[in-house]
Amino acid sequence: MAQTNNNQDEKDRESREKSSPRRGGGPMGHLMGPKVRAKDVQGTLLRLWGYLGRQKRALVITAVLVVISSGLDVVGPFLMGRAIDAVVGSGMGLSDANLALLTETALLMLGIYLSSAAVSWLQTYVMAGASQQAVTDIRNDLFGKLQTLSLRFFDQRTHGELMSRLTNDVESVSNVLTNGITQLLSSLLSLVGVAAIMLLLNWRLAAVTLVTAPLMVMLSRWIAKRTRSGFRQQQAFMGDLNGLIEETITGQRVVKAYGRERDVVSQFKGINQDLRGASTRAQVFAGALPPVTSLVNNTGLTIVALAGGWMAVRGLATVGDIASFVQYARRFGWPLNSIASLYNEIQSAIAGAERVFETLDEVPELSDSLEALPLAEVKGDVVFDDVGFGYEPGVPVLRNVSLHAKPGQTIALVGPTGAGKTTIVNLLTRFYDIDSGRILIDGTDIRELKIDDLRRRLGIVLQDTYLFADTVMENIRYGRLDATDDEVVAAAKLANADQFIHRLPQGYATMLSERASNLSQGQRQLLAIARAVLADPAILVLDEATSSIDTRTEKTIQEAMLRLMEGRTSFVIAHRLSTIREADKILVIDGGRLIERGTHAELLAAEGFYHHLYLAQFKGHLQLVPELAG
């Protein structure tokens, strides 16, 4: 199975990075502040509802339970007021009849509140299941989307930023969907219910009680505008921080080797300070909303008490009405406070959801056309026909490259760093699409083939082999997931890896650490070759597979690679020119152009660029190289 090429030529990387700066970056990366753009809040909420709306049955049940719970909450104060009026109106004081009435009312209210609590718990239980399914769907869609995006997308973003979207941003959405929806619906229904029953009881007192509502709405909107920007900045800086953490931990050996600990700590403090500032601004405004709503609510309660007393004296309200309205005034404030507090969480969730949907809306640079052809059998005839390519517009990396690899041939690609050797591999595997020309496999343009079929027929062994934190067996099986254990072992034997695997603590069941740091570079390369053997590709790419290996290990790896290359069209990128002397054809690349081609002997005899490369590599050891010694 083809693996993503992490070993880009330096010049190729530079051409991308110059025109694609990214926030955060690695230990010495250039930091850029987040850009805050106008966002489509309504559209984001509608898209979130699209995920939640799939759980129709649970939502209907939750809505019914919320209505019941809110209704039960509203009934209590009404019963209390009616009981007080009954006792006061009878003029009998605390008689046995009135005491019995009060007792019955109290028990009834207790039953109502207990039922309301039980229904509230049940609605939370049902809603939790629905919301978590929605969040699961969002995570699945986001992770699946990342698998469809091209390498260019990942070139321009830090890993930590993308991880932040999968974790922090989705988690902020999860918190609101799990608890916020029911709270918001319950609060809104309580507001409507309380307002309706107050109007039925006494419209004058209701008007006095509701007079503070417009003030509450205006203050909430004013504060909300200022919190939304803060939460967006907070999420963006969190992505920057995660990017720095992820890259610094991954590159910890480089950090220590160059003594950059103080630099990365200083860089971390800088981003952390930016995050603190953004978070503080967001939380200051967010924290202002609950006390403001509480102040307005208490002001309304005071107005109700004063106005109710005046109305009672005038005969415009009963004592029971006043008692009920005092309770309703408080209950009218509770939902407002709940909505105010919830609004802050919603702002954070919207900011996170916008970043998630921004990724989901990315259009894959590479995709199968509607007429894409399957690729069943591959002979291995590869043609580059006048190919031109640049990672960024106006910065060409390959210019008018033409080559022909016949089935079973070994083609070696040589040249200085940054010449474009690895780019040729990236185009053959269609990690990027060419700007001009054609690339043909068995006479068919690879852009007309299904991408999955194409890559399944290609095998790549990189200099920097990536192994997963799993067993040795499963890392080899990654080449073909349906392979049996016996097939995995057979592939390891062909790759000369079986012997060292048996020396590991648990053999094939040995767990590898992060990036297989508990294995040597040579051992990692042998596992990569075993993986390629198991995949059984028709076309093979060996990208600097032995450049960082000692001579003794190189011999072992060379034997394994020769077995792997047998009968396959192979492209070999090598800095050690001694390793490709037996290649059927050697292509010399410089500045993105093919400047020489031929066999090893032919190129040496021509005394051109290849001859000078070879001479420079063996300078001081000419007596060991017969073709140069004479």
Highest averaged pLDDT of the listed ranges 26-35, 270-279, 610-619: 270-279
Whether residue 11 has pLDDT greater than 50: no
Give the CA dihedral 620, 624, 627, 630, nearest 10 degrees.
70
pLDDT score of 13: 38
Domains of the chain (ranges plus CATH)? 50-360 (1.20.1560.10), 373-457+538-551+567-602 (3.40.50.300), 465-536 (3.40.50.300)
Q: Which of 114-118, 369-373, 584-588 has the lowest mean pLDDT?
A: 369-373
Distance, CA of 580 to CA of 79 (rounded, Å)? 94
pLDDT score of 369: 74
* Residue scoring higher pLDDT (554 or 624): 554
Q: How would you classify residue 307: left for phi > 0, otherwise alpha for psi between -120 and 50, otherwise beta? A: alpha
Residue with tokens 């039953």: 111
pLDDT score of 328: 74
**Sheet with 593-598, edge to edge strand ranges:** 458-462, 539-543, 569-573, 410-414, 585-590, 593-598
- Of 430, 423, 389, give the one whose Cα is nearest residue 9: 423
Name the amino acid, one letter, at 16.
Answer: R
Cα separations in angstroms, 553 against 27, 46, 504, 550? 32, 59, 17, 5
User: For residue range 155-193, what is the model confidence (pLDDT) as tens digits?
Assistant: 777 777 787 788 878 888 887 787 777 777 777 777 787
User: For residue range 417-427, what is the model confidence (pLDDT) as tens digits?
Assistant: 888 888 888 88
pLDDT score of 402: 92
pLDDT score of 2: 39
In Å, the largest CA–CA distance within the chain is 130
Percent share of the chain, pLDDT over 70: 81
Whether residue 475 has pLDDT greater than 60: yes
DSSP bridge partners of 449: 373
Whether residue 453 has pLDDT greater than 60: yes
Structural contact between residues 434 and 387, judged by C-beta atoms closer than 8 angstroms: yes
Q: What is the mean pLDDT of residues 221-244?
A: 74
Whether residue 545 has pLDDT greater than 80: no
Average pLDDT of the chain, as a whole number: 77
Q: What is the mean pLDDT of residues 318-344?
A: 71
Alpha-helix runs per DSSP H in 149-180? 151-155, 159-164, 170-175
pLDDT score of 386: 92
pLDDT score of 291: 76
* Residue scoring higher pLDDT (301 or 386): 386
**Sheet with 436-441, edge to edge strand ranges:** 398-405, 382-389, 436-441, 444-445
Side-chain-side CA neighbours of 185 within 13 Å: the count stands at 20
Q: What is the mean pLDDT of residues 531-556?
A: 73
- Of 302, 290, 282, 384, give the one whose Cα is nearest residue 339: 290
pLDDT score of 425: 84
Whether residue 6 has pLDDT greater than 60: no
pLDDT band at 299 (very low <50, low <70, confident <90, very high): confident
Structural contact between residues 549 and 560, judged by C-beta atoms closer than 8 angstroms: no
* Residue scoring higher pLDDT (549 or 203): 203
Structural contact between residues 525 and 462, judged by C-beta atoms closer than 8 angstroms: no
User: For residue range 49-103, what is the model confidence (pLDDT) as tens digits?
Assistant: 888 888 888 888 888 888 888 778 777 777 767 666 666 555 555 566 767 777 7
Structural contact between residues 402 and 386, judged by C-beta atoms closer than 8 angstroms: yes
Percentages helix, strand, coil for the chain (3-state, rounded to 5) are 65, 10, 25
Q: How far is CA 89 from the centre of its chain?
A: 67
Decide the pairing of beta strands 436-441 and 444-445: antiparallel
Whether residue 454 has pLDDT greater than 50: yes
DSSP bridge partners of 65: none
pLDDT band at 385 (very low <50, low <70, confident <90, very high): very high
Q: Which helix (H) or strand (E) holds 62?
A: helix 56-90
Name the amino acid, one letter, at 570.
Answer: S
Please provide the DSSP assignment of 254-309 as one string.
Answer: HHHHTT-HHHHHHHHHHHHHHHHHHHHHHHHHHHHHHHHHHHHHHHHHHHHHHHHH
Number of neighbours of residue 510 by Cβ within 10 angstroms: 16
Highest averaged pLDDT of the listed ranges 202-206, 208-212, 260-264, 478-482: 478-482
- Of 577, 567, 516, 515, give the one whose Cα is nearest residue 546: 577
pLDDT band at 361 (very low <50, low <70, confident <90, very high): confident
Structural contact between residues 108 and 79, judged by C-beta atoms closer than 8 angstroms: yes
Handedness of CA 520, 525, 527, 528 (dihedral sign): positive
pLDDT score of 626: 52
Q: Which helix (H) or strand (E) holds 597?
A: strand 593-598
pLDDT band at 26 (very low <50, low <70, confident <90, very high): very low
* Residue scoring higher pLDDT (35 or 114): 114
Q: Which of 93-97, 352-356, 532-536 has the lowest mean pLDDT?
A: 93-97
pLDDT score of 21: 35
Cα separations in angstroms, 407 against 73, 93, 381, 458, 545? 79, 107, 5, 13, 22
Q: Which two tokens stand for residue 65?
A: 């339970």
pLDDT score of 344: 66
Residue with tokens 């003794």: 552
Report helix, strand or coil for 229.
helix
pLDDT score of 47: 85
DSSP bridge partners of 413: 573, 587
Structural contact between residues 554 and 580, judged by C-beta atoms closer than 8 angstroms: no
Percent share of the chain, pLDDT over 90: 5
pLDDT band at 383 (very low <50, low <70, confident <90, very high): very high
Q: What is the mean pLDDT of residues 258-268?
A: 79
